[in-house]
Each structure stands twice: as structure tokens, then as C-alpha cells.
Amino acid sequence: MKRLLISAAASLAVLLGLSSAAMSQEPIRLGDLNSYTGYAAFTHPYRDGWQLALEEINDAGGVLGQPIEVISRDDGASPSDAITVANELVSREGAEFLFGTLLSHVGLAVSDFARQKEVLFLAAEPLTDNLVWDAGHDYTFRLRPGTYVQAAMLAEEAAKLEATRWAVVAPNYEYGKSAVEAFKARLKELKPEVEFVAEQWPPQAQIDAGSVVQALADADPEAIFNVTFGGDLARFVREGEVRGLFEDREVVSMLSGEPEWIDPLGEDAPEGWIVTGYPWYGIDTPEHNAFLEAYQERFDDYPRLGSVVGYTALHSLAKAIEKAESLDTETVIEAMRGMEVESPLGPIRYRSIDQQSTMGTFVGRLTVKDGKPRMVDWRYGSGEEYLPSDEKVRELRGED
């Protein structure tokens, strides 16, 4: 018995020593940058999402036997600030790869930095499709479905309406412009008789809602395509309700079913709008149920779409490194092309042709239940169904 106890103690010491050695290895450092101060409604849940993923990854032993460490910084919602931050993350903090950003023009700036410095960048949230098409390159991948996919889904619903006279309102920067361009093109394909009779382009986060609503009303459209979000969306909705802009008019609205943007309106949320969003309260799949349970247990809160994005972004990078069995940038890029990864919305794939993920989105109608905005009659559309063909991507990229 004494010999058995000594042997067991020795074996335990060896195991503890191995575990200690594994935990003492240098961490794999990843750099995250996002607009945490300027757009907290989306980015704070996004950060919660990647923090949940980080805990899961490290609790499971890390990647390549090393823990993951995320160095996170605010990008100031500014392209110039974001480039400075990205450079600090790579040069000073030793980040192997970068992920994050929210605003499209910020994402494009970081993407160009990644191309110049030859560092992998996973653009988690920016919606402009220039990231993967016109300005696409080997060093940038994109997670969220962009304006092309979301506009295509909304245009399908818009084409079913009787309306032919449309007006648009969108923030005057890359995201708004690309969203309107994509929506117009797809709706014209589906319903050639439509015409656009008015356009309003307020500066992002500085909308003069009164003048915008009045200008749209003066044009007397039958339907409105809205691309505003955040505080601009709230001001547009409230001013439009006061002035009767939405009475007897259909509104098709990008992002307005996402909890981070619509929940602050509470019972003042508009009824009947056709929107893209995230009905977390109604998704009943094994993947989402597991994510929802883990998220609520960890944060005592419900997830937003940003939570899903942050969670999936970090798991994507971890899987790419594991698949590559290396931290070499070119090797990880090659591993990520065509890679499948599980997400709370189901399996997604990073397409080899444009390095865009096939994550989809939900489209449905807005209503208010028990004082809370909710999407009803919604459906999920996978990016596989709506993304352009390889031939079309080559055309968009100017390739032969």
C-alpha cells in the first residue's frame, strides 16, 4: 500500500508538472480593435461575445497547447486612429493577427493596413462589400453578411409590395452608400417599374431628423428604404411618427431588427417595418440554445447580434490557427480559406474566392409585444443563398 501511494503521488506530480508547463507557455496574442466608446450598444455585447469564446477556448486547453490572449483597444471610430491602434497592437503588443472594427470606413482603413503590413485581419462587423470585393485582398477576411446580402433579402420582400415610388434615407458614408446601391440594383432587377423619387444623406450620428422627415414627406413616396441606425434611427423614428411620415407607407429598413439598435426604442418601436435583425428570443436550434444558455449564465443578460459576431470571430481565428498548426500568417490564411466553423446561427464557411463568410441574416416584420420590440414572421437566409457566384466576384474584383 505504501508503494502504491508513493507511485500515485509521483504520477500526480508528473501530471501537475505537465499541466503547469502547458499553462506557462507564452500565450498567442491577438489584437482586437473596435468603437467601444462611440458605439457601445453594439460593441460592448460584441466584446462579451469574444470574452465568452476566449474562456471556452482556454478552458479547453487553448490552441496548439498555448492559451489565447486578446489585447483590446478602442479604434476611436476613426480611420486614422484605427491605423495607429492597429500598428501599436502589432508592433508594440506583439499581436499575431487582428480582428474587429464596426464602421465600414474604419474597417477599410484597417484592411489596407493589414495588406501593407501583411498581417491577417478578420473584419468582424463592417458591412461594406468593398472589403472583400473591390478592395479585397489576401490578408482580410470578413465575418458578417454585408450590404449585398442584407439588401438582397430586403429587396425580395420589397418587390412583393405594391409600391413603385421609393425614397431612401442613409448615412452619408461608405456603409450607407453601398447599402443603397445594392438595394436599388436588386429591386430594379426584381421590379423594373420602380423609381426612386427622393434621397436623404444625413451625416452619420448627426441627423437633422426634422428636415429629413419633411423632405421625404414632400416627395410623397409610397415606400421608404431606411439605412440609419443607432441614435439616428431613434431620432428618425420619433420624428417620423410625430409628423405622420409612416402612415400608409411601407418602410424597409436595414439593421432595424437588431436588438442593440431597436431595443432602446421600447414601446415606441415602429410597427410593421420590414427589417433585418436578430430574433434571439425565437431561434430554437441546438447551436443557438447552447450559446444563449452559456451567454445568459455568464453575463446575466440576453445576447445582441454583436455578441454572436464577437463569439464567432474569436472561435474562427482559433480554429484557423489550430487547422494551420502554425502562427505563420500565410499558412493561417490558407487554412482559413474554405474553412467551416460552428456558430450560434449554424455552420458557416469562409469562401475561398473572396474570404467572405457565409453567415446569413434574419428578415421579418417589426412589432411590439409587452412593451418590447420583436421581429415576427421572420426567416433566416444563409449567405450561401445570396452571395454572388465566383464568376461575379472575379468581375467585381477586376480579375480576368
AA identity, residue 72: S
Class in CATH terms, 148-283+362-386 = alpha beta
- Based on the number of CB atoms within 10 Å of its own CB, is 151 exposed (0-12), middle (13-18) or buried (19 or more)? buried
Which one, of 220, 156, 147, lies nearest residue 177 by Cα?
A: 147
Which one, of 280, 271, 279, lies nearest residue 253 by Cα?
A: 271
Which whole number is the average pLDDT over 329-357? 98
Which whole number is the average pLDDT over 187-204? 98
Instruction: Please tell me if the domain spanning 26-146+284-359 has the same topology as the one spanning 148-283+362-386.
Output: yes
User: Which CA distances in Å does 380 have to 66, 172, 318?
Assistant: 37, 29, 26
Q: φ, ψ for residue 364 (rounded to 5)?
A: -170, -165
Place 6 in a pLDDT band, splitting at 50, 70 and 90. very low
Q: What are the residue boundaries of the structural domains of the chain, listed by start?
A: 26-146+284-359, 148-283+362-386
CATH (one of 3.40.50.2000, 3.30.430.20, 3.40.50.2300, 3.30.420.40) for 26-146+284-359: 3.40.50.2300
pLDDT attached to residue 25: 87
Residue 253 DSSP code: E
Q: Tell me what the pLDDT averaged over the chain comes to.
A: 94
pLDDT attached to residue 339: 98
Where helices occur in 300-378 by DSSP H, the ranges are 305-324, 329-336
pLDDT exceeds cutoff 50 at 16: no
pLDDT attached to residue 8: 44
- 374 vs 164: CA distance, rounded Å: 27
pLDDT in tens, 145-173: 999 999 999 999 999 999 999 999 999 99
pLDDT attached to residue 203: 97
Which whole number is the average pLDDT over 191-213? 97
pLDDT attached to residue 398: 83
Query: Of all residues in the chain, what percent carry a pLDDT higher than 70?
Result: 94
Q: Which helix (H) or strand (E) holds 275?
A: strand 274-277
pLDDT attached to residue 400: 63
pTM of the shown model: 0.92
pLDDT in tens, 260-318: 999 999 999 999 999 999 999 999 999 999 999 999 999 999 999 999 999 999 999 99
pLDDT in tens, 212-224: 999 999 999 999 9
pLDDT in tens, 79-107: 999 999 999 999 999 999 999 999 999 99
Dig out the grid coordinates for 225 from the structure.
428604404
pLDDT exceeds cutoff 90 at 246: yes
User: Which CA distances in Å does 9 have to 2, 6, 15, 21, 22?
Assistant: 11, 5, 10, 18, 20
